[in-house]
């Protein structure tokens, strides 16, 4: 189907449409509803300039295809988007706005989104941003699409900033309880160390260093800990990125039994939260995963008390709402933005918030 055909279909649409690639993130957000609007026919890299550090791809392009192309030129998507079994697409990656272990050091998908093309609810093909950061001025609509879960329109193409692969990496392991791990990673975060990612779970803190060989070697000597061989470390970081490691597998089993998996966004220096259940901590303490049967109000209140918020990432029952409730002014802004791009309310209705 051509863009012109899509525009004609969307110009006349009045019933709900469910935008989907492979459906790898259907579990995330509120339940999808409406007639399927697939992005899979929009497939392929449309531009790649290694020297200019950007790549453009159509929405249905698998993330793995883009990364394979970048790897040939020793480059990468530095925000490490989760691929969920290899089925994640570029459009879904932007719409979900999820980033991997490197988020705290290198930025989120939103930070690397240079431009986007979309079709709005009037059937108009709109282009925002460009191929370099300086092209972005005023209200950056392309970045507003990141994390919008498709409620504003159909993303057809995106342009992303890419970065070189690091010359060297090393993973260090430390036997720390949660409080000691948080203190250590925040202390190290204030020093000129090439820390690219960190993760604490079940009494162990793992830290990934990345950069020039000399910098990585010097940091490893300074920090100490046990060096994890690369062939053992890479599967761990890949599993963490793609939510396929032991913690997330266990979380899915617990969710099937009635527990909930929460994603907490907190100030990184927040001390240990005494929450019932398993916790995994990333991003230097700023992202904390909690698998718990606790009442939702208790989890959200604990996050809010320290200046953060909690997202219900996986659950059998999402009746309590997925995302943190919006204040009245913010809710009004969301509704005006939705009405501006999608006046008939056809794109992924209720996916972000039930009344949006």
Q: What is the 3-state secondary structure (H, E, C) of 263-309?
A: EEECCCCCCCCCCCCEEEEEHHHCEEEEEECCCHHHHHHHHHHCCCE
pLDDT in single tens digits along all 356 residues of the chain: 688 989 999 999 999 999 999 999 999 999 999 999 999 999 999 999 999 999 999 999 999 999 999 999 999 999 999 999 989 999 999 999 999 999 999 999 999 999 999 999 999 999 998 765 444 444 578 889 999 999 999 999 999 999 999 999 999 999 999 999 999 999 999 999 999 999 999 999 999 999 999 999 999 999 999 999 999 999 999 999 999 999 999 999 999 999 999 999 999 999 999 999 999 999 999 999 999 999 999 999 999 999 999 999 999 999 999 999 999 999 999 999 999 999 999 999 999 999 99
CA atoms of 117 and 332, how far apart (whole Å): 25
pLDDT at 132: 54
pLDDT at 8: 92
Helices (H), the chain: 3-11, 63-72, 90-96, 103-106, 141-145, 178-189, 213-223, 230-242, 246-256, 296-305, 328-341
Domains and CATH numbers, the chain: 3-164 (3.30.465.10), 168-242 (3.30.70)
Axis-axis angle for helices 246-256, 230-242 (nearest 10): 30
* C-beta neighbour count of 246 within 10 angstroms: 13
Strands 35-38 and 17-20: parallel
pLDDT at 100: 98
DSSP letter, residue 121: T
Q: Give the up-direction half-sphere exposure of residue 283: CA atoms within 13 A in the CB hemisphere.
A: 21
Identify whether the C-beta of residue 237 lies closer than 8 Å to the C-beta of residue 318. Answer: no
DSSP letter, residue 110: G
DSSP letter, residue 17: E
| pTM reported for the whole predicted model | 0.94
Identify whether the C-beta of residue 109 lies closer than 8 Å to the C-beta of residue 25. Answer: no
What is each CA distance from 287 to 199, 230, 284, 298, in whole angstroms?
10, 25, 8, 18
pLDDT at 3: 86
CA atoms 287, 291, 292, 295: torsion sign: positive
CA atoms of 156 and 58, how far apart (whole Å): 6
pLDDT at 142: 85
pLDDT at 350: 96
pLDDT at 145: 95
pLDDT at 1: 67
Tokens for 78, please give them: 């530095």
């Amino acid at each position: 189907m051509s863009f012109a055909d899509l525009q004609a279909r969307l110009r006349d649409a009045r019933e709900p449409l469910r935008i989907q690639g492979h459906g790898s993130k259907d579990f995330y957000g509120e339940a999808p509803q409406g007639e399927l609007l697939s992005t899979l026919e929009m497939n392929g890299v449309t531009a790649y300039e290694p020297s200019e550090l950007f790549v453009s791809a159509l929405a249905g392009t698998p993330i793995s295809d883009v990364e394979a192309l970048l790897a040939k030129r020793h480059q990468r998507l530095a925000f490490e988007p989760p691929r969920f079994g290899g089925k994640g697409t570029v459009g879904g990656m932007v719409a979900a706005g999820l980033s991997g272990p490197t988020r705290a050091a290198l930025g989120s998908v939103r930070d690397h989104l240079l431009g986007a093309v979309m079709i709005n609810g009037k059937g108009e093909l709109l282009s925002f941003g460009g191929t370099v950061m300086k092209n972005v001025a005023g209200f950056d609509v392309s970045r507003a699409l990141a994390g919008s879960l498709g409620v504003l329109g159909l993303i057809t193409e995106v342009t992303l900033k890419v970065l070189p692969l690091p010359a060297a990496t090393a993973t260090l392991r430390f036997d720390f309880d949660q409080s000691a791990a948080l203190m250590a990673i925040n202390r190290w975060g204030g020093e000129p160390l090439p820390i690219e990612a960190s993760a604490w779970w079940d009494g162990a803190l793992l830290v990934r260093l990345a950069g020039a060989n000399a910098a990585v070697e010097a940091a490893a000597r300074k920090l100490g800990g046990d060096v994890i061989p690369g062939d053992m470390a890479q599967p761990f970081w890949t599993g963490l990125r793609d939510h396929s490691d032991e913690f997330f597998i266990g979380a899915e089993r617990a969710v099937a039994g009635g527990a909930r998996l929460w994603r907490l966004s907190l100030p990184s220096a927040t001390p240990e939260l005494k929450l019932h259940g398993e916790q995994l901590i990333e991003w230097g303490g700023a992202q904390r995963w909690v698998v718990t049967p606790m009442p939702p109000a208790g989890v959200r209140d604990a996050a809010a008390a320290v200046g953060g918020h909690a997202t219900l990432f996986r659950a059998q029952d999402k009746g309590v709402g997925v995302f943190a409730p919006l204040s009245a002014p913010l809710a009004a802004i969301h509704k005006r933005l939705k009405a501006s791009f999608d006046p008939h309310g056809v794109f992924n209705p209720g996916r972000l918030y039930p009344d949006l």
